[in-house]
Amino acid sequence: MIRYALTCDKDHSFEGWFGASSDYEDQKASGLLVCPQCGSDQVDKAIMAPAVRRADSQAQLAEAIRNEIAETCDDVGTDFTDEARAMFYGEKPGRGIYGQATAKQAKEMLEDGIPALPLPPALDPKRAKKKLN
């Protein structure tokens, strides 16, 4: 798991988590990297000091994040995009949710200013308390 500090052309700063360094380049080339604050797809890596961690601590961190989401958020499955939009536009009360969205749906949500982030990958699914799709 690699964490990059990212910035957009409007000087908004945010983080991105990637399974490999090539994932950043692939997502950028595909137009999937967009600023969660303004929707700009002009995103670049910011200068940052490297965080050196052992692989097992990365797996534990990803597992902890996924377990926290499973315990505190609602799984809305393939209705994720509809639920997120309804909450964003005030049609439903806000709450923590997770589910599935296609790359196209995720990009459209970010372009519309709807904040959403991908889950960190399951590095050791056998140890997870609850399976997240």
Task: Return the pLDDT at 53.
Answer: 55
Hey, what are 70's tokens? 């499973």
Q: Are 38 and 22 in contact (CB under 8 A)?
A: no
Q: Are residues 68 and 130 in the same domain?
A: yes
Q: Are residues 67 and 109 in the same domain?
A: yes
Q: Are residues 1 and 48 in the same domain?
A: yes
Residue pLDDT, tens place only, 69-121:
888 999 999 999 999 999 999 999 999 999 988 889 988 998 999 988 887 66
Range of the domain at 110: 54-133
Residue 38 has pLDDT above 80, yes or no: yes
Q: Are residues 58 and 45 in the same domain?
A: no
Q: Are residues 87 and 118 in the same domain?
A: yes
Task: Return the pLDDT at 61.
Answer: 79
pTM above 0.75, yes or no: no
Roughly what angle, to the nearest 10 degrees, separates helices 80-88 and 103-111?
Answer: 10
Total count of domains within the chain: 2
Q: Are residues 3 and 26 in the same domain?
A: yes
Q: Are residues 43 and 78 in the same domain?
A: no
